[in-house]
Amino acid sequence: MIDVVVPIEQEGTKAVVRAWLKQIGDRVELNDPLVELETDKVAMEVPAPVGGVLREILLDLEAEAVPGAILGRIDTDGERANAAPATGAASPPPPSPATYQPDVRNPELRLSPAVKRACLQHAVDPTTIAGTGRGGRVTRADVDKAVAEGRAAPTATVADTRSRSDAGLRSHDVPHDRMRLKIAENMLASVTQAPHVTAVFEADFSAIIAHRERHKADFSKRGVKLTYSAYFVAAAAEAMKVAPAINSRWHSDRLEVFDDVNVGVGTALGEKGLIVPVLRQVQTLSLEGVAAGLDRLVEKARAQTLTGADVSGGTFTISNHGVSGSLFASPIIIAQPQSAILGIGKLEKRVVVREVAGQDAILIRPMAYVSLTIDHRVVDGHQTNAWLTRFVEVLESWPAD
């Protein structure tokens, strides 16, 4: 019997079992996707370490999976089991539709996303279930047991407080998934811990647009997609030289200033929310190196194949909110305890005044607002403005070749 364990690389990040892709008695081959784990940042598949028959599932759906924990066991000599699975069995079919809609939004119930979905699917009132989970929490198994005992679709005597309080309003519930709940938790923690202040500058993108037009074809031939984000990341690393405290972490007794610039780039996942993969040691990379690294991380993010290492260790974050049409935003510091986050607004042509041959001239230039939101415990306006001044200067003076 060979143990299937939670990868050690997930250390420091909470994970839960989201789905078993094989059931007890199923034949598996080496490296077959076996179980899917979900952390607060990424979903990942754990492959079978050997070929054989899955004999035991020790951590079922929604169980917490700490690094090194045993998920299940594979029998390398066994044949396909004929007996019915002992755990992970399919839930009974849902009862016939009922008019009752349980209210699963009460935060005091501390229901997991899977339990909320099950309660809504089977029309089970979670307040009528005695939880067997840690601290009395209701588990998915508790809901399945209630359905099997015929407690689904309660009679109209069970109070539907939402219907009474919101009479006449039509709505439907969408249970929060783990990523959305973690985003909400991080946002609340960030604004609670850190006093946020935002400074706004304006940047002329003429130089980087011209450079990108001259070089993107050559980059593409080498398999690298040259995006504007690569310029932003490279310029951010350069700006750290004039205000190193921007790349730091607040502690109650000291300020920890990082020597490496590890930049997290906010990547939208549609309705799934936002994830921030991290490009490490940017200060050592060329523009091509930055572009290649970003391309790799974004592809992994959208394919949901990021690892724990891909989303940890960030020291600074960039949010390019302009790609979705926003002119200006004041992003919240996503990854506490980082000290700052850069926001890039929508690129658009604007009328500006420039001095040409000693005379003021009205010109049309590609412009965007750039904002730096800082933890005011860490830095003041002087460092903030010095950093933005250098960041804009690097973009506007990007060399032609």
Active site residues: 376, 380
User: What is the spatial distance between Cα 38 and Cα 17, in angstroms, rounded to a whole number?
Assistant: 6
CA angle 204, 289, 213 (to 5 degrees): 40
User: What is the spatial distance between Cα 332 and Cα 276, in angstroms, rounded to a whole number?
Assistant: 13
In 3-state terms, what secondary structure has residue 114?
A: helix
Residues 351, 364: contact at Cβ < 8 Å?
Answer: yes
Residues 38, 19: contact at Cβ < 8 Å?
Answer: no
User: What is the spatial distance between Cα 33 and Cα 53, in angstroms, rounded to a whole number?
Assistant: 14
Residues 337, 249: contact at Cβ < 8 Å?
Answer: yes
Residues 106, 164: contact at Cβ < 8 Å?
Answer: no
**Terminal alpha carbon distance of the chain:** 61
Q: Strand 278-279 to strand 43-47: parallel, antiparallel, or no bridges (unpaired)?
A: unpaired
Helices (H), 172-227: 178-193, 206-221
Number of H helices, E strands in the chain: 8, 18
Half-sphere exposure of 70 (CA within 13 A, CB side): 10
Q: How many residues does the chain have?
A: 401
Q: Strand 248-251 to strand 33-39: parallel, antiparallel, or no bridges (unpaired)?
A: unpaired
Using CA atoms in the order 228, 233, 239, 245, what is the torsion angle rounded to 10 degrees? 140
Write out the two tokens for 311.
């989303």
User: What is the spatial distance between Cα 323 and Cα 392, in angstroms, rounded to a whole number?
Assistant: 19
Residues 228, 234: contact at Cβ < 8 Å?
Answer: no
